[in-house]
Amino acid sequence: MLYVNVGFWSTVDLRPGEPVGSRNRMIEERVSSLGGHKSLYSDSYYPEDEFWAHYNGEAYRALKRRYDSAGRLPDLYAKCVLRR
């Protein structure tokens, strides 16, 4: 299996009316189309169903039930994906 980690450290001016995160979302979609997924160290804009498909939601939920059954901590999606 091949792993490649690429990072972007800059900003891009938005066009008038362009939503915040739209450029990040384009990168997420392109990476997905190539069979990859984005590391969660930066802003993410995935729809929730797509996020869990990439980051093994079924296994995560099983672990969350076991180790945080009272739901005291936010889940991974809530911590990683910006909602605007």
Distance CA 11, CA 74 (A): 28
Predicted confidence at residue 84, as pLDDT, reads 56
Task: Give the chain's end-to-end CA distance (angstroms, integer).
Answer: 35
pTM for the full model?
0.79
pLDDT tens for 22-37 read 988 998 999 899 888 8
Determine the average pLDDT of the residues in 32-48: 87
Determine the average pLDDT of the residues in 54-70: 96
Q: Which two tokens stand for residue 72?
A: 């005291």
Domain boundaries, the chain: 22-80
